[in-house]
């Protein structure tokens, strides 16, 4: 990671009654082998992110979604995912963002509640999409990660989320990716035909007494779907603290981006984070240049 590594975590302040808040608990590195039972319970294999997050993707390849006359590829905005993190006290946190149709939303919610898996946001990533889609942030913390994985599997089974498929050949991205990288100041990556540029918050983010690994629930992402002739549809998400929100909203509108939703992903994060989903269509490099002020208005560092 570049020079803006997260600052060390600090102990929480003493409460007004003179009682100290619980000490912060740090995440610990894990390996794929540590999550074999979780993978079996989920019914699909995941991968490791930054040696601390066991990440499982569940893209909604079963859906044909259109937004603003663009057919949305799964990797652009339809990528459900969940991440498991082990902590020094032997507990495990799970966070995720799940794509459900409007018809699936209530049954999915009921199963989550049955398994005591919390919902921390229900919101939109896209404008005027067809069919109607919702995105649900899920959260759990405890000492039984396999039980949580079983609960997630039961909830996913109430949706049309398809089974995993063998990895295929990476699709070529018909965009000036070098120009996009230079404009945004990041080295992007390709995911099933989508070019992704990702940033993480510089400061340490906590969730209650737990320190979040860099990037867990706190990323800014700019996803580019090629439309031909150097044009792209961009589905983006900026992570912000309160004092950054208005500057980012102004920067996005000045770039010609359409604002979709301003919301929170978590309930007990500190500093409190806000997220703005946005949509833009145009020349990929020109849009990237226009969006750079939104990146510069936030305290983030590039990934990759």
Residue 35 banded pLDDT, cuts 50, 70, 90? very high
Q: State how far the Cα of 72 lies from the Cα of 126, in Å rounded to an integer.
A: 10
Percent of the chain surpassing pLDDT 90 = 88
pLDDT, residue 270, reads 97
Query: pLDDT digit string (tens) for 132-177?
Result: 999 999 999 999 999 999 999 999 999 999 998 887 777 789 999 9
Sign of CA dihedral 182, 185, 187, 191: negative
Give 286's contacts (C-beta < 8 A, 6+ positions apart). none
pLDDT, residue 21, reads 58
Q: State how far the Cα of 5 lies from the Cα of 203, in Å rounded to an integer.
A: 8
Which of these, 149, 66, 163, 82, lies nearest to 120 by C-alpha position?
Answer: 82
Q: Is residue 13 predicted with pLDDT exceeding 60?
A: no
Q: What 3-state DSSP class applies to 97?
A: strand
Query: pLDDT digit string (tens) for 228-286?
Result: 999 999 999 999 999 999 999 999 999 999 999 999 999 999 999 999 999 999 999 99
pLDDT, residue 227, reads 97
Q: State how far the Cα of 138 lies from the Cα of 118, in Å rounded to an integer.
A: 6
Q: Is residue 187 predicted with pLDDT exceeding 50?
A: yes
pLDDT, residue 20, reads 55
Query: 248, 240 in Cβ contact below 8 A?
Result: yes
Q: Which letter does DSSP use for residue 12 in this model?
A: P
Q: What is the dihedral of CA 166, 167, 168, 169, to 10 degrees?
A: -160
Looking at the chain, the number of H-run helices and the number of E-run strands are: 7, 18
Query: pLDDT digit string (tens) for 84-120?
Result: 999 999 999 999 999 999 999 999 999 999 999 999 9
Mean pLDDT of the chain: 92
């Amino acid at each position: 990671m570049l020079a803006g590594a997260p600052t060390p975590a600090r102990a929480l302040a003493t409460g007004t009654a003179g009682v100290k808040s619980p000490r912060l608990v740090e995440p610990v590195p894990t390996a794929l082998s540590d999550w074999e039972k979780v993978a079996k319970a989920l019914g699909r294999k995941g991968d490791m992110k930054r040696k601390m997050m066991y990440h499982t993707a569940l893209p909604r390849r079963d859906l044909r979604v259109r937004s603003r006359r663009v057919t949305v590829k799964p990797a652009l905005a339809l990528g459900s995912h969940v991440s498991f993190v082990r902590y020094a006290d032997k507990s495990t946190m799970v966070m995720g963002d799940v794509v459900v149709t409007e018809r699936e939303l209530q049954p999915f919610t009921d199963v989550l509640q049955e398994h005591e898996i919390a919902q921390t946001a229900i919101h939109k990533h896209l404008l005027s999409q067809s069919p109607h889609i919702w995105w649900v942030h899920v959260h759990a913390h405890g000492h039984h990660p396999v039980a949580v994985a079983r609960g997630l599997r039961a909830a996913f089974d109430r949706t049309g989320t398809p089974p995993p498929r063998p990895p295929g050949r990476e699709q070529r991205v018909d965009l000036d990716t070098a120009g996009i990288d230079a404009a945004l100041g990041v080295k992007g990556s390709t995911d099933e035909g989508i070019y992704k540029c990702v940033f993480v918050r510089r400061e340490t983010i906590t969730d209650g007494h737990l320190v979040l690994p860099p990037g867990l629930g706190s990323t800014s992402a700019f996803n580019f779907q090629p439309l031909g002739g150097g044009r792209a549809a961009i589905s983006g998400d900026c992570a912000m603290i309160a004092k950054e929100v208005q500057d980012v909203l102004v920067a996005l509108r000045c770039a010609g981006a359409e604002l979709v939703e301003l919301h929170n992903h978590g309930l007990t994060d500190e500093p409190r984070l806000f997220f703005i989903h946005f949509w833009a269509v145009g020349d990929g490099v020109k849009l990237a240049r226009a969006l750079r002020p939104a990146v510069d208005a936030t305290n983030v560092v590039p990934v990759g």
